Amino acid sequence: MKVQSELRYRCIVFDLDGTLLDTRPAMLAAINAQLAKLSRPPVAAAQLEHATHQGLPAMWLRALDETGRLPPPEQIAATQAELRQRYLRAAAQGVMPFPGALALLDALRERGVWMAICSNQNQDSVVQLLDLFDLRRYFREVVGGDTFVERKPDPMALRWLMLCARSAPETTLMVGDSALDGECAERAGAEVVLMGHGYGGPKLASRFAMLPGFAELHRQLFGAPPC
């Protein structure tokens, strides 16, 4: 992504986990507490790395697979519902916005940029997290992994958001932290930038534009760091 003398993006779509909010510690704590209830050993973040961007249900399935045999489907469904509530309780203490997130959102809102969330977490969980941190007011639409029949990297949700914003692909920017976000934007024809503070890892930098954090993105968009 090149430095813009004037902000040309009509629509900016943000991922949530690993992009706006540092949610992985709370998710991991909730998963390990749920595993302990099932008399299973804890897991480390590295064991769930490939499932992290698919949402909490995918992380839970991976954790179960890492710690023993998979339970019957009905038991998995019951434990997923309990895990989700456990995670949302933990989020109040264990989740934080990444540095510079609020300053960037304020600057974009002041300029009238149409903003949305596109996450692979369940939509209800996304909305509850946004409400918890008073972030819902910034976004015109919120899409979760269960909003449509397909989730990222499928571009369906991003294309729908562009229609809502009346934005062409060349005036749309996807801000994420993983290859799923990058591939989703590519398939929709939108631009993309990934946040190095997230969970995607430095290997993504060779394929997708990557910035270390929101202060640098602020500078790229507006030509100056936030005050």
Is it true that domain 11-22+96-222 has CATH number 3.60.21.10? no
| 161, 11 Cβ separation under 8 angstroms | yes
Sequential pLDDT tens for the chain (227 residues): 543 446 889 999 999 999 999 999 999 999 999 999 999 999 999 999 888 888 899 999 999 999 999 999 999 989 998 999 999 998 988 899 999 999 999 999 999 999 999 999 999 999 999 999 999 999 999 999 999 999 999 999 999 999 999 999 999 999 999 999 999 999 999 999 999 999 986 555 567 889 999 999 999 998 876 76
* Residue 170: count of CB within 10 angstroms of its CB: 12
pTM of the predicted structure, to 2 decimals? 0.92
CA angle 219, 185, 119 (to 5 degrees): 90
CA distance 160 to 197: 27
- 13 Rama class: left (phi>0) / alpha (psi -120 to 50) / beta: beta
Kindly list the catalytic residues.
15
E-state strands within 111-217: 114-118, 141-143, 172-176, 191-195, 210-211
